[in-house]
Amino acid sequence: MQILLEPLICILIILPLIYFGKKKESYKSEFTLIFALYFLMDSLVTVIPIQYPILNLFNLQMNWQGKVNSYILAFTFFFFYRKFPIDEYGFTLKQKENSHKYFLKILIGFTLFALIYSHLIERYSSEIENILFQLTMPSIVEEIVFRGILLGLLNQVFIKSFRIGKTYFGMGVIITSILFGLWHGLSIDTSLGFNLYWVPLIYTTVIGFILALIKERTGSILGPIILHIVINTIPNVIGYIY
């Protein structure tokens, strides 16, 4: 029961933002409906192998099956749902003009932060499986889902009425960032108890916001994928070495 309640509560929390966000005159409510349904479906297929181990074909420490399910769902979506060009989801290697230096500065900053944090603040043990998992699974597929599909759908709904520096963005960036944080920081236990873990919630919301800004500035999810890999992998590599 809780695996369905968690994503439903997440959707309910961001509903006011969807309602009050400044929309395009020509927007279609279909996009917000598909957005909500896709988030629910992705949450379910990711968590189901944890809740029902019989559906887990990998039988490894990390949730490989859930992330593979998420990949399958994403590419199934792209195959059947072709309402607008795929590059509007950020599925392109081409970067917007003058965005390379912007991304490079952020990448260098986060790489240094990850190295310092892993060395001086918090270390944890890691294995090769953890490193391989972070390199190939959540760092990539979560960007395909959150900064690709979900943000791509909401960009068809909301006007880019906000600006930070030279980056223009709409309510979709804020909504997907909050969802990203809730997805990592909200849980419902077997007795249907509601739990918010504030540190991961705030941390992943902020990271999700930065990743979404990179996608909007560059026009591609390539940058967010690279940065996500750095953020997730460096602590695991340091943990494995030490």
pLDDT tens per residue, range 122-172: 777 899 999 999 999 999 999 999 999 999 999 999 999 999 999 999 999
Question: What pLDDT shows up at residue 145?
Answer: 98
pTM: 0.96
For 34, the token pair is: 């598909």
Question: What pLDDT shows up at residue 1?
Answer: 63
pLDDT in tens, 15-73: 999 999 999 998 899 999 999 999 999 999 999 999 899 999 998 999 999 999 999 99
Q: Mean pLDDT, to the nearest integer, of 3-12?
A: 93
Question: What pLDDT shows up at residue 59?
Answer: 87
Q: Mean pLDDT, to the nearest integer, of 202-228?
A: 98
| DSSP β-bridge partners for residue 163 | 168
Range of the domain at 57: 2-241
Question: What pLDDT shows up at residue 169?
Answer: 98
Question: What pLDDT shows up at residue 87?
Answer: 95
Element (H, E) at 195: strand 194-196
Say if CB 172 and CB 149 are below 8 A apart. no
pLDDT in tens, 78-119: 999 999 999 999 999 999 999 999 999 999 999 999 999 888
Residue 193 confidence class, pLDDT cut points 50, 70, 90:
confident
- Residue 214: CB atoms within 10 Å: 28
- The domain total for the chain is 1
Q: Mean pLDDT, to the nearest integer, of 186-200?
A: 86
Question: What pLDDT shows up at residue 102?
Answer: 96
- Number of H helices and E strands in the chain, helices first, is 10, 4
Element (H, E) at 226: helix 222-241
